[in-house]
Each structure stands twice: as C-alpha cells, then as structure tokens.
Amino acid sequence: MPTNRSVSDAAITQFVNCRILRDHRLQREDLWVREGKILNPEKLFFDEEGFADHQVDCGGRILAPGFIDVQINGGYGVDFSRAADDVSKGVGLVAEKILEHGVTSFCPTLVTSPPHVYHKVLPQFSIHEGGPGGAGVLGIHLEGPFISREKRGAHPEQYLRSFAPGGLADLLQVYGGLDNVAIVTLAPEMPGSLEVIRQLAEHGITVSLGHSVADLSQAELAVQHGATFITHLFNAMLPFHHRDPGIVGLLTSDQIPKDRTVFYGMIADGIHTNPAALRIAHRAHPAGLVLVTDAIAAMGLPPGRHTLGQQDIEIDGLHAYVAGTKTLSGSIATMDMCVRHFLQASGCSVEAALEAASLHPAQLLGISHRKGTLNYGSDADFVLLDDELHIRKTYIAGQQVWRK
C-alpha cells in the first residue's frame, strides 16, 4: 500500500474486533490512534493514504471513554484534605491505583478544613494529563467550608464559614487562591452566595450546590447566577417535598436558562441512595446524571478506623461512618463498581451507564471536546471492558497503563 506520512511520522495503532461507544451507542468499528489522539480513518486513508503500524485485537469487548471522577477525597490511605508534607506523592498513589477502576482523570476533593490547611495543601496540587504513572488531574474540587451547619454531614462544624461581604475576596482569604480549582461546592441559601456564584462562574469554575437547606427558588436563583452542578443528589440536602422539592426540584425545573444543563452527582454504591431514588433521578433527568465515588482514604483498605479531613472514620463493610456515629462520610466504592450498580439498579442501557461516568462529567467541566468521548480528535483515554462491565485494560493517550 502506498504511504504518505506528510502529516505525521508517528506510529498509528488500530484497535480491532471491538464495540466502540460513540454517538450514544455501541458500534462495531475499529478505533485508530496516533500521538495520543483518536483519528478519523477516512482522512487517514484518503488524505494521507496511511495505514496502521500496530493492531490490537480487543476480543469483541467494549471500548468506552475513560471514566472521570469529579468527587474523590482520597483512597489507599491517602486523604487529600490532610496537610501532608508531600501532597503530590499521595495524589500520585491514588492516581496510579484508580487506573484499575477505569478512571483516566479526576478532581481531587478537599472537604471542609481550616484556612491553614488550604493554604498549605492547595499550592501543592497541579493540573496535568495522565500517563503510565496514573490518571490525570483536571482540577481540585473544594467541598466546603461555605455550607449549611444543619446539612454538614461529615464536615467538622467548627470550620464551617458564612460569606463575608467581600464575596470572592472572602473565598480567596480562606482558600489562599483559586489556581487549579475546578469545582466549588457551596450552600446557595447563605447570604452573599449569589454574588460569589456569579464571580466563580465568570472565572470558569464550576459551582455545585450541596450540603444545603435551600428551597427550590433559592436553588433556581443559584443556577440563574451560574451554578451547574448538584453535589451528591439527595445526600446532605432537604428531602423532596411535594410543595417545595428543594434542590432536587432542579431536575425538572422550568426556571433553568435555556442554554444550561444542570448536572447532578450520584454515589451509586448501594448505600448512599436507595435504588428507587436512583431510578427516579435518572428517569427525571437522564442527561444530567454524573456518577461520583465520593471515595475516602479508606477505599482499598481493610475495615477499621481511618480519616477524612479532620475527622476519624470507621469502616464497617461497605459503610463509612463518622467514628462513634451513624453519619455517612463518603464511600469506599470504586468507579467501576458504581457503573455496574447504576446499570443494575436503574435498568438503564449499558451506553447510559458508561456515559454517566465519562461523557457527562466531561460536559459538566466543559471539556467534552477532548475528554469523555471517542470522537475524532479527542484524547485517546479509554477502557476495555467485558460484557459485565469489569475493566480489562485502561489506556491513556492511546498507551496501555493498566491491565487485569
């Protein structure tokens, strides 16, 4: 076959004998990769007269975009909210381990902490692409301390804050800066919150509503000012009530700006949310569902006592409680477990379950032009799964970074 490598001399890999998740359905196609990007085979054949240097036989399995976890507090003994001297080492350990769960990028999440912890820890995080050493970091998720005392969950009450008149200046004082921050979770009913939401959105930071006693009108105002996400729907918010459905009502609100989608996180671990509630949310607003693990340091560790930020946590089976209480405090579920549980509990399609862990979080963060899909030109971050949705291999930039 004649060749014309005028565009690039880099090697081309062709993944064959696979079902690719593209355009919301599994299709029997090959996947072509060069220099970490997904290629359009028509352009390759007709414009470049190119060919594959390597072929990978996928054995008839599913190729789906790599999973994106936008709320993960740590794992394997690492707690992102602890003022460790070497944060990058802890992030690196978690990033490496979650490749096994199909996660190719994530947002390390910090729970409510005193200002000196933020000032020490935040500058040590960096946004970077993933690779053989681990999943990529898309930015930090700051969950608190501007949240409701009544719905604080496992967040320590003594460090909670309300907004000072300075708006964003107050946040900068508490956090020390917003460099590398991707998401901020706050309670929209707090005085001064709307101005903060507007300013954060203008800075390109995703604002999430959570740990809140907001009614529906307060939640709708927050969305109109720029909020686009709900932190772990149903958990740490007012329960649904038919006369005022609270934040949950955003899923079917008619007051959402036409150009905006409200996304919502779900911890599909079988513990945080009853399967019926999971089904209600998914059927009401399927396009907004984002699977999150909300995993804590105890993920991947044996039962016993561990930490979450400034609190002690006890692990009992798949339950994680604030020590000495029955207050849930994050999960020890992995992302692939959540995908499988969501599929089984909701009765949704395989495609919908996979997109809730890939396409939807990418859309939430505004990066679906390069992550969360297998479209031409996207980053070649993907997972190979069997029909039961167990991860067999994980790829970042077209390179295999984990295999079972």
Task: Give 245's contacts (C-beta < 8 A, 6+ positions apart).
Answer: 216
Domains of the chain: 12-64+375-403 (2.30.40.10), 66-364 (3.20.20.140)
- The reply to whether 386 belongs to the active site is no
The token duo for 174 is 């508490």
The token duo for 323 is 């020590």
Chunked mean pLDDT (size 10), the chain, 404 residues: 57 97 97 96 83 95 98 94 83 97 98 95 95 98 96 92 87 95 98 97 98 98 98 95 97 96 95 93 98 92 81 83 84 95 97 98 98 98 98 98 97
81 touches 121 (CB < 8 A): yes
Reduced to 3 states (helix: H, G, I; strand: E, B; else coil), residue 265 is: strand
Q: What is the spatial distance between Cα 79 and Cα 201, in angstroms, rounded to a whole number?
A: 27
- Burial of residue 168 (number of CB atoms within 10 Å: 0-12, 13-18, 19+): middle
Q: What distance, in Å, lies between the first and last C-alpha atoms of the chain?
A: 36
| DSSP track, 304-324 | EEEEETTEEEEEETTEEEETT
H or E element at residue 282: helix 275-284
Q: 399 - beta bridge partners?
A: 396
104 touches 394 (CB < 8 A): yes
Antiparallel, parallel or unpaired: β 311-316 and 319-322:
antiparallel
> How much is the pLDDT for 301?
84
The token duo for 1 is 């076959």
The torsion angles phi and psi of 310, rounded to 5 degrees, stand at -95, 5
Instruction: Enter the DSSP assignment of 404.
Output: -
321 touches 327 (CB < 8 A): yes
> How much is the pLDDT for 7?
62
140 touches 180 (CB < 8 A): yes
The token duo for 111 is 């729970």
The token duo for 372 is 């969360």
**Tally of residues, the chain:** 404
Cα angle 197, 202, 204; round to 5: 100
Cα–Cα distances in angstroms (integers) from residue 393 to residues 65, 94, 104, 237, 282, in the given order: 12, 17, 11, 37, 28
User: Considering 69, 294, 336, 379, which one is annotated as catalytic?
Assistant: 294
> How much is the pLDDT for 6?
46
> Cα–chain-centroid distance for residue 47?
37
306 touches 296 (CB < 8 A): yes
What one-letter code names the amino acid at 115?
A: P
The torsion angles phi and psi of 89, rounded to 5 degrees, stand at -65, -45
Torsion of CA 347, 353, 355, 361, to 10 degrees: 110
> How much is the pLDDT for 323?
87
> How much is the pLDDT for 202?
97
Residue whose token pair is 């190729």: 63
Sheet holding 12-16, edge to edge: 37-38, 31-34, 12-16, 54-57
Please state the pTM of the whole predicted model. 0.95
